[in-house]
């Protein structure tokens, strides 16, 4: 019976992110926020990326927005920022969902942009993002 308990506990612990990793993600996030407000973008990006890689959704969003800003200033592709924004959006981050919808509104060359706008705007509205709620209400077909 003790072997069964040990195996069950081992399986349980392996399937749940460790408390230390979660604490670390929160610490990385806090460090990122502090660096962001001190306008130390390189430190903020590094800190948010550490937390984002540990699954910290708010860090995924913060990282995406900092990277997007840099990409816009430097005239670079938005691949990295959109990847992080999509990850946060998939994790039900309403601001990420809304920002992703807004990004796809300007993606004229993407044949799926209209579908992606509707998908992410609807998701953001379902997560009570007020601008998305208003957009969905405005674009909803009348019965």
The pLDDT tens digits for 56-105 are: 999 999 999 999 999 999 999 999 999 999 999 999 999 999 999 999 99
With helix as H, strand as E and coil as C, how does 35-75 read? HHHCCCHHHHHHHHHHHHHCCCHHHHHHHHHHHHHHHHHHC
pLDDT at 143: 54
Residues 12, 13, 14, 20, Cα dihedral to 10°:
150
pTM for the model: 0.79
Calculate mean pLDDT across residues 6-18.
49
> From CA 65, how far away is CA 16, in angstroms rounded?
28
């Amino acid at each position: 019976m003790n072997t069964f308990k040990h195996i069950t506990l081992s399986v349980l612990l392996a399937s749940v992110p460790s408390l230390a990793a979660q604490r670390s993600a929160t610490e990385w996030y806090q460090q990122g926020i502090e660096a962001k407000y001190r306008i130390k973008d390189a430190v903020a990006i590094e800190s948010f990326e550490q937390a984002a890689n540990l699954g910290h959704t708010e860090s995924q969003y913060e990282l995406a927005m900092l990277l997007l800003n840099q990409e816009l200033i430097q005239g670079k592709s938005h691949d990295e920022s959109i990847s992080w924004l999509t990850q946060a959006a998939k994790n039900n981050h309403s601001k990420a969902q809304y920002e992703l919808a807004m990004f796809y509104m300007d993606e004229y060359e993407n044949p799926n942009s209209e579908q992606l706008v509707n998908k992410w705007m609807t998701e953001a509205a379902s997560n009570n993002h007020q601008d998305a709620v208003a957009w969905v209400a405005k674009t909803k077909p009348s019965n």
